[in-house]
Amino acid sequence: MSDFDIKPRKTSVAERHATRRKNNTTKLVIGGAVAGCLLFVVLILITALRPKEPPVPPVAENAADRQPSAKPAPTKPPQVEQPDAAPDSNLVEDDGQTMWASPTDGQPIDLVGLPPGCEMFVVLRPAELLASDDGAKWLAALGPRGELARQHVEQTCGIALPDIERLLVGVRPSSQSAIETTLVVTPRAGVTPRGRGYHAMDGGNDYVFAAPAVLQEVKDLEGWAPPLRREVESLVDATDADRHVTILATPAFLFDDGKAMWQGSLAGVRDLLFAMLPDSTRCAALSLHAGDDFFAEVRLSATIDQRPQAFGERFADKVATWPASVERIIASVPASPHSAAVVARLPAMLRVLNRFERVGVEDDQALLRVYLPPAAGHNLLMASELLLAELAAGGSSVAATATPAAKTLTIEEALAKPTSLSFARDTLETAVNLLGEDIGVDIVLMGGDLQLDGITKNQSFGLDQQNKPAGDILVEILRLANPDKTATGPADAKQKLVYVIGPHPQTGRPAILVTTRAQAAKRGDRLPAVFIN
Distance from C-alpha of 389 to C-alpha of 87, rounded to nearest angstrom = 49
Q: What is the mean pLDDT of residues 415-434?
A: 83
Percent of the chain with pLDDT over 70: 75
- Report the alpha-carbon distance of residue 114 to residue 209 in Å, rounded: 10
Percent over 90 (pLDDT), the chain: 33
Is residue 379 within 8 Å of 349, Cβ to Cβ?
A: yes
458-473 pLDDT per residue, tens: 778 888 888 899 999 9
For the packed helices 133-141 and 143-157, what is the interaxial angle rounded to 10 degrees? 100
Residue 286's CB is within 10 A of a number of other CB atoms, namely: 24
> pLDDT tens-digit profile of 169-211?
999 988 665 788 999 999 999 998 987 788 999 888 999 999 9
What is the three-class DSSP state of 531? helix
* Predicted pLDDT at 102: 92
- Where would I find the H helices in 394-427? 398-402, 411-416
**Mean pLDDT for the chain?**
76
Q: Which of 233, 227, 171 is nearest to 33 (CA)?
A: 171
Tell me if 150 sits within 8 A of 139, measured CB to CB: yes
pLDDT at 253 over 70: yes
Per DSSP bridges, beta strands 443-445 and 510-516 are parallel
pLDDT band at 19 (very low <50, low <70, confident <90, very high): very low
Q: What is the pLDDT of residue 267?
A: 66
- Tens of pLDDT, residue by residue over 39-59, are 444 333 333 222 333 333 444
Q: Rounded to the nearest 10 degrees, how much is the dihedral formed by the CA atoms of 54, 60, 62, 64? A: -100
Q: What is the CA radius of gyration of the chain?
A: 24
> CA-CA distances (angstroms) from residue 467 to 316, 422, 472?
20, 11, 10
Tell me the pLDDT band of 216, cut-offs 50, 70 and 90: very high
Tell me if residue 500 falls in helix, strand or coil: strand
Whether residue 215 has pLDDT greater than 80? yes
User: Looking at residue 467, what is its pLDDT?
Assistant: 84
> 266-295: per-residue pLDDT in tens?
666 676 677 667 778 889 999 999 988 999
Is residue 60 predicted with pLDDT exceeding 50? no
* pLDDT at residue 418 is higher than 80: yes
Domains of the chain: 31-55+96-402 (no CATH), 411-531 (3.55.50.30)
Residue 289: name the closest of 57, 59, 40, 91 by CA.
Answer: 40
pLDDT in tens, 155-168: 889 999 999 999 99
φ, ψ of residue 299 to 5 degrees: the values are -120, 135
- Mean pLDDT within 414-435: 84
- Say whether pLDDT at 230 is over 70: yes
pLDDT at 75 over 50: no
